[in-house]
Structure 1
């Protein structure tokens, strides 16, 4: 009888040990929550998931660009008195409208992954047209065989423009885009006239500043070197309204030189620097 009770007691002890191990896995090694008695109460507490760190996209950027232009040959008209031809009856023209160069800078804002805008200021290189003539000149009844006259007009534009772009995201550093811009150009135009004979000469100059309409259309691609830097290469069609200057000098008849609209094809390259 005593042996039977001992065997029953042993069996109950073994069963109790097995049940305790099954009901308290938190106390066993390898528990996914706690092990080695770290949580002796046996209550499982899940480990909180890590909080994701938000990645802020840059919203503002600065840009700098340089462009070479071609195809822009505006018309040139002389209104009123043609000073050179009034003396010699004929003249020779020369023009320097292309190639041209434009450089500028701007600041932009990124509205969404596809849309951005920027404001740019560009300075167009000086263009000029020149009219010359030479030959015999009669002044106060006296003939001078070595007469010469030169009428030269120079024009330089500062272009201020608001541009909008649509970026085609490719999931890579390469981003093609389309863009358009509207604004105005501040045209500074200067006319200089020089007339000389053997013993007599006339020099006159006039400067005028006009504000004209400007517009552009762009297609290009950018490459992101990092989250801060990108290069930008594009084609731009640029339109600048024309201007005129009137030479008003007491010794000369009234003369106006008019330079027509400039429509130019440009290849531009530049960079963008992004800031948060």
Structure 2
């Protein structure tokens, strides 16, 4: 009887211990892992841009046929005035460092003044030495394909450099030529030469900085150098012409803005891995 009693007691104790152990079982803790950093989607996509600028212009030279179109002469003095510009474009931000765009801009009226001096024309007031005054103006419409490299973001500023190439339609107004005698005896009647227009090759180099206004609006200020090649300038009239220019340089300061489509960059949500279910 004693042995039976002790066997039953031992069995009861073992069963209660097992039950208690099952009740207090805790799963092994998962190894601690560093939470990944929250990633931010890189901004990219289409944008629109607009710019206003002021261009300092320099004509590289101009020449014309004189007399019976057998002699080519150059203007002794030339001056091309500064002008305003306005432009717009559409572009694509490829990544944080590269973007491209297609731009069209208009250079407002830039006045031209030239002069020549020499022997008399042989008629009118200018029968001896005389000096001519030649007045005209040009306008330019330019289409450019551009690429830019952004040089990193510093607070709200992103400096950049860029280059572009394309075509420019340069339109000259009529040129008015007035010759006056150097001795002050008088001037000939003004001769009007018809202005000419032509498409020319052009290229440009840029540098500037973008300024973050909002997450999808950026102000843009910068400098642009443009070289527009030469072409037709004015036509023939009364033993003078036609004439052509040797192209011109433009040094432009501009300010504008870019609007990025697609909204602002959004954080990439982090979802923790599913935990293994432990049953008691």
- TM class by shorter chain equals 0.5 to 0.7
Give me the whole-angstrom Cα distance separating, in 1, the residues matched to 2:94 and 2:252: 27
Contact 1:246 1:254 in 2 (8 A): no
Q: Secondary structure at the match of 2:81?
A: coil
Contact 2:193 2:234 in 1 (8 A): no
Question: Which of 213, 227, 237 is matched with 2:215 structurally?
Answer: 227
Shift of 1:11: 4.1
Please show how residues 1-276 of structure 1 align to structure 2 within 5 Å. 11-12=13-14, 14-23=16-25, 25=26, 55=41, 57-70=43-56, 72-81=58-67, 95=79, 97-130=80-113, 151-170=134-153, 172-193=155-176, 204=192, 206-249=194-237, 252-276=238-262
Contact 1:189 1:243 in 2 (8 A): no
Per the normalisation by structure 1, the TM-score is: 0.67
Give me the whole-angstrom Cα distance separating, in 1, the residues matched to 2:146 and 2:112: 31
Count of residue pairs brought into register by the alignment? 234
Q: Partner of 2:271 in structure 1?
A: none
Unaligned runs of 5+ in 2: 69-74, 117-122, 126-131, 180-187, 263-280
Give me the whole-angstrom Cα distance separating, in 1, the residues matched to 2:175 and 2:154: 56
Unaligned runs of 5+ in 1: 34-48, 83-90, 134-139, 143-148
Contact 1:69 1:98 in 2 (8 A): no
1:177-217 Cα distance to aligned partner (Å, 9 max, x none): 11111111101112243779xxx977745232111110111
Shift of 1:53: 9.4
